[in-house]
């Protein structure tokens, strides 16, 4: 998703949420480094991957009492100037009513050319600061490739790439997802 507009006043998450609340529903804003960024609509290719991945994750998540949802904002007490919207978030327990979670178990970002640097840079740093997060997926649009960032027992992170014929093991959900299935309906 491309960054379409900026609001140039730096805000905390609390200020951002108050500011964003009266905005029209069709506007999707995220807070990055204290700056509100308007997200442009995703491409059909991006959405196809999100839907394929979301369906697979939700099947696994439901068995564990979790929910896999698109477009939730993610919060972390460690960074009060960030409230990014992840493409898919898996949470445990009841659904919140405000569109945000501070307790994701797993989340995924589908790379877009216009946001690739942000997704691989500041967002990755932010997501790694969320204590509950166990796995963070970076999914490519232009090749059949998924990077799985995983938190170790010691609290450090490992990264492992998976390709078309590989299976993406998700122990926190008690299952796996075939990587090639995420690209069903796309010419790759």
pTM, to two decimals: 0.89
Q: Tell me, yes or no, whether 86 lies in a domain.
A: yes
The CB density around residue 98, as the number of other CB atoms within 10 Å, is 9
pLDDT of residue 8: 64
Distance separating alpha carbons of residues 156 and 180, to the nearest angstrom? 28
Helices (DSSP H) in the chain: which residue ranges? Answer: 13-20, 44-63, 116-120, 122-128
Residues in CB range of 177: below 8 A, 6 or more apart: 53, 56, 57, 60, 167, 168, 170
pLDDT digits (tens, 9 = 90+) for 135-162: 999 999 999 999 999 999 999 999 999 9
Q: Tell me, yes or no, whether 87 lies in a domain.
A: yes
Q: Tell me, yes or no, whether 72 lies in a domain.
A: yes
CATH number of domain containing 127:
3.90.1570.10
Q: Tell me, yes or no, whether 103 lies in a domain.
A: yes
Number of domains within the chain = 1
Distance separating alpha carbons of residues 86 and 50, to the nearest angstrom? 10
Q: Tell me, yes or no, whether 139 lies in a domain.
A: yes
């Amino acid at each position: 998703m491309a960054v379409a507009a900026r609001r140039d006043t730096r805000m905390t998450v609390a200020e951002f949420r108050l500011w964003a609340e009266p905005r029209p529903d069709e506007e999707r804003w995220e807070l990055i480094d204290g700056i509100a960024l308007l997200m442009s609509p995703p491409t059909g290719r991006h959405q196809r991957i999100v839907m394929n991945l979301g369906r697979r994750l939700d099947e696994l998540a439901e068995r564990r009492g979790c929910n896999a949802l698109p477009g939730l904002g993610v919060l972390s007490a460690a960074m009060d100037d960030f409230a990014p919207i992840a493409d898919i978030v898996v949470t445990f327990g009841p659904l919140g009513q405000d569109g945000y979670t501070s307790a994701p178990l797993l989340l995924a970002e589908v790379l877009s050319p216009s946001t690739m640097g942000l997704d691989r840079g500041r967002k990755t740093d932010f997501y790694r600061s969320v204590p509950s997060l166990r796995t963070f997926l970076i999914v490519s649009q232009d090749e059949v490739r998924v990077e799985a960032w995983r938190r170790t027992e010691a609290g450090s992170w490992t990264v492992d790439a998976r390709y078309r014929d590989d299976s993406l093991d998700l122990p926190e959900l008690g299952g796996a997802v075939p990587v090639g299935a995420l690209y069903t309906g796309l010419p790759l």
